[in-house]
Amino acid sequence: MDSFAKRLAVVTGGGSGMGRELVVQLAAEGASVAMCDVSASSMEDTMTRCVETVGGEQVRDRLTSHICDVSDEHQMMRFRDEVMAQHETDHIHLLFNNAGIGGGGSFLTDDRSAWERTFDICWGGVYLGCRAFVPLVVAAEEGHIVNTASVNGFWASIGVNRPHTAYAAAKFAVKGFTEALITDLRIHAPHVRCSVVMPGHIGTEIVGNSMMLQTGGSGPEITERSNAFRNNAPTTAAEAATIILDGVRAGEWRILVGDDAHVLDALVRDDPRGAYESAFVRRMHEQGALEFLVAE
């Protein structure tokens, strides 16, 4: 897919982070975009960014926003029906299953509801997004499905002695599912391609959004942790979106995002048996990757 102009894209989690930047950059390239999020005000901020970036209120004519919890099948099907009605279409060209949160680190000690909430959004949102929209992608003359996993889809850790089970399990599922789709699409829908996206540390609001969604609270501690995660990231959300879209143009099925993702990928391949030891994290730090993770 050489150009996104006059294409219709669906983006989940379009109210912040990489999702917002995907919407903005797709709109700037002439695409129509349907985004969903759980926050109407966040999506309106994305709309405003599109107006400022593209220039002129008329860009709103190509954009729609939809309230949707991606872990809820009824809401996802309603989102699909709204897209078809509001864009007057029976097909879409691009599907970005991007929405995600963190939480439920320990399977043994964390609250079960937090664990399942994380898994249901990070994996269930991809699964339900595909169930809802893949038939519309297949109905187009060409299409591309983009599922966001993480470096935690091939390395199930955020540092030694810090459990990370729910998010890692979900992202491993996204990676495996998307890789399996390559063959499925080749046999049954060869005009459609798919990509799995594996970002490293990206400057998004995922920490703050996750804490607010899981606890229902807010406050200076959440704001401080969220800002630190975003502001100290080596790759911005805008840079990440550009890498993803460039990968889609190039037809890449595996898209690593950020230098730290490339470093970690190489280290895991070189020493898979030692991947969860302190020495492994120290080697990561020596190569300038994910230096905020604790090695002891």
The residues annotated with a catalytic role in the active site are: 167
Question: Which residues fall within 8 angstroms of residue 280, CB to CB, at 6 or more apart?
Answer: 267, 271, 274
Sign of CA dihedral 170, 252, 184, 2: positive
Provide the 3-class DSSP secondary structure of residue 159: strand
Give the number of C-alpha atoms closer than 13 A to the C-alpha of residue 54, restricted to the C-beta side. 25
Q: Where are the strands (E) in the chain, listed by range?
A: 8-12, 32-37, 63-67, 94-97, 143-148, 192-199, 202-203, 235-236, 254-257
Q: Decide: 2 and 249 in contact? Cβ < 8 Å.
A: yes
Sign of CA dihedral 1, 257, 67, 76: positive
Length of the chain: 296
Q: How far apart are CA 91 and CA 85, in angstroms?
A: 11
